[in-house]
Amino acid sequence: MSSAQSLTTAGLLPLPRPLMTGEVLDAAFRLFRAGLVRCLPYSGLAVLVMELPALYSTFLAQASLGRIARGFGVQPAHLITWLLVVLLSTALIGMLTLRLHAVSRGVRPRFRSELGTALRRLPTAVIATVGAMGFPLLILFLVPLFSNALPKIAFLVVWLPLSWPAALFVVALPAFWCDSLGPFAAVGQAVRLSRRRSWRMVGALLATLCMVAVFYVLSAIVVGLMSPILGRADLLLFAMVSSMLSLVVGTLGVPFVLAVLIVAYEDLKLRDVERPKATTRAAR
């Protein structure tokens, strides 16, 4: 039985040995399955908060929150709304990470402790989240721009260099929440652990994104199949069904991605500890 298969809900971490990329994904899925029910309130609320700008624009038939208003710059109300979205989503992602970490250690999650930690560390958590997720968010922003303007081969040439720094920084998120590091220390820890194994992280992230994308594609297929039924219905109903499917997929996808990051971070730390031992044994 592999180490990934031997993980139980009594304590999925720490890992008994370094894992292969497939074992990291398997262990992350076991962590996701073990904490799914406990994480659904956090993940559902986090995805809802992150979708608020799109929902506001869709259902209230107004401009997006980032719109330039009549030549007078961004409206202050829009900036305040975006700031609230950033703060709430950062806090909820932090609470979700803390809950998955507690489940992985076999510790009973406590709402008050998670809420207190998230609120106490919220200002620095924004910095750590931007440092960890900046490049992945940049890639997601550039995908619709370059996919239409460039051929597929050229798009891959642009995407691959951007995936490497994303793999370097992304584990700063579990480093900040799980090890209670400061934002800059967490980013430094992520770079130090990932720089020699960055392509392993690229492979894990790519596999994770493909798995989550499958569910989004399935939801798009469901919407496409329902479009003839809803063709004569009001556009608001069609947008509501699409938004609900996106919320459901996001509610399941966010904890899975965080589970992958937690397991990958623990694997990188274990490899960092094992590397000097292997060097010493080779010298003998």
229: tokens are 């039924």
Provide the terminal-to-terminal Cα distance of the chain, rounded to the nearest Å: 31
Q: Which amino acid is at 99?
A: R
8 in a structural domain: no
Count how many domains the chain has. Answer: 1
Q: Under a CB-based contact definition with an 8 Å cutoff, are residues 164 and 191 in contact?
A: no
Residue 68 forms beta bridges with which residues?
Answer: 74
176: exposed, middle or buried (Cβ count in 10 Å: 0-12, 13-18, 19+): buried
Q: Would the pTM of this model clear 0.75, i.e. be above it? A: yes
Residue 98 lies in a domain: yes
**Residue-number span of the structural domain to which 29 is assigned:** 21-275
Tokens 């401009």 found at: 63
Other beta carbons within 10 angstroms of residue 157's beta carbon come to 12
pLDDT > 70? residue 80: yes
- Contact by Cβ (8 Å): 271, 197: yes
pLDDT, one tens digit per residue, over 168-213 is 899 999 999 999 999 999 999 999 998 888 788 888 888 888 888 7
Whether 279 has a pLDDT exceeding 80, the answer reads: no
Look up residue 71 and give its two tokens: 């030549």
Beta carbons of 264 and 204 less than 8 angstroms apart: yes
Q: What is the pLDDT at residue 212?
A: 82
Residue 87 lies in a domain: yes
| Burial of 277 from C-beta contacts in 10 A (0-12 / 13-18 / 19+) | exposed
For residue 95, report the phi and psi dihedrals to the nearest 5 degrees.
-65, -35
